[in-house]
C-alpha cells in the first residue's frame, strides 16, 4: 500500500523541513523547568536519541526565556518555544534564538499582540504553529458552538491564521488537538480541506500508557493513512522519551520513515506452542533492543506455520520440540537447542546486520531446512494441521465434483 500524502506548503524548523514532500517529523516536549538548563538539555538529548526531530520547550517566565538562550545553541535538534498568555515571552524566545514558536489562540487574545509576534517571527525567519486545543478554546467560540466540536476548533485555527496572514506571515503550521479521538480526526479532516499549511497531529491529554498510546495511535495513524499530517506528537502522561519512541516507531511501522529501530513481531501463542512464547519474546526484545539493530525480527511459537507466516521478517526463530529453528527471510538456516534460542537469534541478527541477507543465506547449514520440515511434519501428524488445510481441500473438492 502506498500512502498518498496531502499536498502542503513546506517550511523549515531550523534544518528540519516540514510539509511538502519532506519526511514526517516526530516531536516531543520537555517536562523539566526551562530555567534548569543542564536538566533540560539532558532531556533534549535523550529525546533526540529516542527519535525526536524537534523538541518543544515551555517559555512561561523570564527565567525560562533566559534558559532558552543557553539551551538553543547547545541543542542537537531544533527548539520550539511554547508560549501561553504573555506575548512578550514569545518576543523574548525569538531573541533567545529558537527555531519556532507555538501559540495557543485560546490564551493570547489581543490581535495587536499576535501580529507583533508574527512580525518578529517573520523578521527572524522562523515559523509559528497555531496550536488549537479543545481544552483552551476561546470563550466566544465555545458560546457560538456550545462545545469544543470539530467546527469550533477549525474556526479558531482559521481566525488565528487570518491575523498572521494580515501581516504577510505564511510560515505557519497548525494543530487542532482534541482528547476525544473521533473529534480529533474529524477536526483535522475538516481543516485539511480548507488550507494547505502543514499539519501537526496529536491527541491532546491522551493520558498514561497503555490507554494514551492506544488513543494516540488510533487518531494519528488514521490520519496518516489518509495522507494527512506532516509532524506528530504522542501526548502521554509519561517520560517524554516514551513519546518520541512511540512516534518514531509508528512512522516506521507505517512505512513513512526509514526503519532505525527494532521491529519485533511475534505470534500471540496458543496450545501448539512448544515454548513459553511470552518469556522468549521478553528476553529477545531486551537483548535485541540493547543491540540497536534496525531490523525486523520474528519470534514464533511453533514450526508448523512459523517460518512461513513470518517469511517477510529479516530474521526470526520458531520453536520446535526442544529446539529452535532460526530462519532468514523464511529460509531455515540453523537449528539450535531450545535454551540457546535467544542467544543464537541475537548472534545471527548481528551477523545479518554486518554481512547482509545473501551472505547469511549462503552460510546456512544445508541440513537445517530438512530438519525443520521433518519436525513440522511430525507435529502436524500429532496435532493435525493448524489450519486443517488438507481436510478443507478435500471438502472443497467433494463439493466441486458433485
pLDDT, position 387: 55
* Residue range 371-402, pLDDT digits in tens: 767 776 666 665 555 556 667 778 788 888 77
pLDDT at position 310 over 80: no
pLDDT: which is higher, 226 or 394? 226
Dist CA 186 CA 34 (whole Å): 34
Mean pLDDT score, 164-185: 98
pLDDT at position 154 over 70: yes
Q: Which fold has domain 10-253?
A: TIM Barrel (3.20.20)
* Residue range 18-50, pLDDT digits in tens: 999 999 999 999 999 999 999 999 999 999 999
Residues 6+ apart with CB under 8 A from 358: none
* Residue range 318-327, pLDDT digits in tens: 887 788 889 9
Mean pLDDT score, 292-306: 83
* Residue range 201-220, pLDDT digits in tens: 999 999 999 999 999 999 99
Per CATH, the homologous superfamily of domain 263-383 is Sulfite Reductase Hemoprotein, domain 1 (3.30.413.10)
Lowest mean pLDDT among 148-162, 289-303, 377-391: 377-391
* Residue range 107-123, pLDDT digits in tens: 888 999 999 999 999 99
Dist CA 309 CA 307 (whole Å): 6
* Residue range 350-371, pLDDT digits in tens: 999 999 999 999 998 888 777 7
Domain spans of the chain, in order of start: 10-253, 263-383
Query: pLDDT exceeding 90 applies to what percent of the chain?
Result: 73
Residues 6+ apart with CB under 8 A from 258: 252, 294
Mean pLDDT score, 214-228: 98
* Residue range 229-256, pLDDT digits in tens: 999 999 999 999 999 999 999 999 999 9
Pairing of strands 323-328, 331-337: antiparallel
pLDDT, position 34: 98
Confirm whether pTM is higher than 0.85: yes
Dist CA 320 CA 98 (whole Å): 57
Amino acid at each position: 500500500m502506498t500512502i498518498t500524502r496531502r499536498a502542503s506548503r513546506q517550511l523549515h524548523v531550523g534544518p528540519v523541513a516540514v510539509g511538502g514532500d519532506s519526511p514526517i517529523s516526530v516531536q516531543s516536549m520537555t517536562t523539566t523547568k526551562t530555567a534548569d538548563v543542564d536538566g533540560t538539555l539532558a532531556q533534549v538529548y535523550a529525546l533526540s536519541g529516542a527519535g525526536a526531530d524537534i523538541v518543544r520547550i515551555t517559555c512561561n517566565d523570564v527565567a525560562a526565556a533566559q534558559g532558552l538562550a543557553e539551551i538553543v545553541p547547545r541543542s542537537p535538534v531544533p527548539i520550539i518555544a511554547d508560549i501561553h498568555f504573555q506575548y512578550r515571552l514569545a518576543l523574548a524566545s525569538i531573541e533567545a534564538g529558537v527555531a519556532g514558536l507555538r501559540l495557543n489562540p485560546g490564551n493570547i487574545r489581543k490581535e495587536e499582540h499576535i501580529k507583533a509576534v508574527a512580525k518578529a517571527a517573520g523578521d527572524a525567519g522562523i515559523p509559528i504553529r497555531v496550536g488549537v486545543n479543545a481544552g483552551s478554546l476561546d470563550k466566544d467560540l465555545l458560546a457560538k458552538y456550545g462545545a469544543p466540536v470539530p467546527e469550533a476548533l477549525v474556526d479558531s485555527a482559521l481566525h488565528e491564521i487570518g491575523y498572521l496572514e494580515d501581516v504577510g506571515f505564511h510560515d505557519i503550521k497548525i494543530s487542532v488537538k482534541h482528547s476525544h479521538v473521533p473529534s480529533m480526526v474529524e477536526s483535522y479532516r475538516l481543516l485539511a480541506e480548507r488550507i494547505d499549511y502543514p499539519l501537526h497531529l496529536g491527541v491532546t491529554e491522551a493520558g498514561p500508557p497503555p490507554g494514551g498510546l492506544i488513543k494516540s495511535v488510533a487518531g494519528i495513524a488514521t490520519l496518516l493513512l489518509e495522507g494527512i499530517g506532516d509532524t506528530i506528537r504522542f501526548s502521554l502522561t509519561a517520560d517524554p522519551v516514551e513519546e518520541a519512541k512511540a512516534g518514531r516507531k509508528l512512522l516506521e511501522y507505517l512505512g513513512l520513515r526509514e526503519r532505525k529501530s527494532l521491529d519485533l513481531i511475534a505470534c500471540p501463542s496458543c496450545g501448539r506452542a512448544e515454548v513459553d512464547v511470552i518469556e522468549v519474546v521478553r528476553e529477545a526484545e531486551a537483548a535485541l533492543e540493547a543491540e540497536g539493530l534496525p531490523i525486523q525480527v520474528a519470534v514464533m511459537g511453533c514450526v508448523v506455520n512459523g517460518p512461513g507466516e513470518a517469511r517477510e521478517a529479516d530474521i526470526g526463530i520458531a520453536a520446535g520440540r526442544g529446539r529452535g529453528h532460526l530462519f532468514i527471510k523464511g529460509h531455515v538456516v540453523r537449528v539450535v537447542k531450545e535454551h540457546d534460542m535467544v542467544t543464537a537469534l541475537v548472534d545471527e541478527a548481528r551477523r545479518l546486520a554486518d554481512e547482509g541477507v545473501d551472505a547469511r543465506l549462503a552460510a546456512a547449514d544445508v541440513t537445517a531446512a530438512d530438519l525443520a520440515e521433518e519436525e513440522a511434519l511430525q507435529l502436524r501428524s500429532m496435532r493435525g494441521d493448524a489450519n486443517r488445510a488438507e481436510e478443507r481441500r478435500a471438502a472443497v473438492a467433494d463439493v466441486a465434483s458433485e
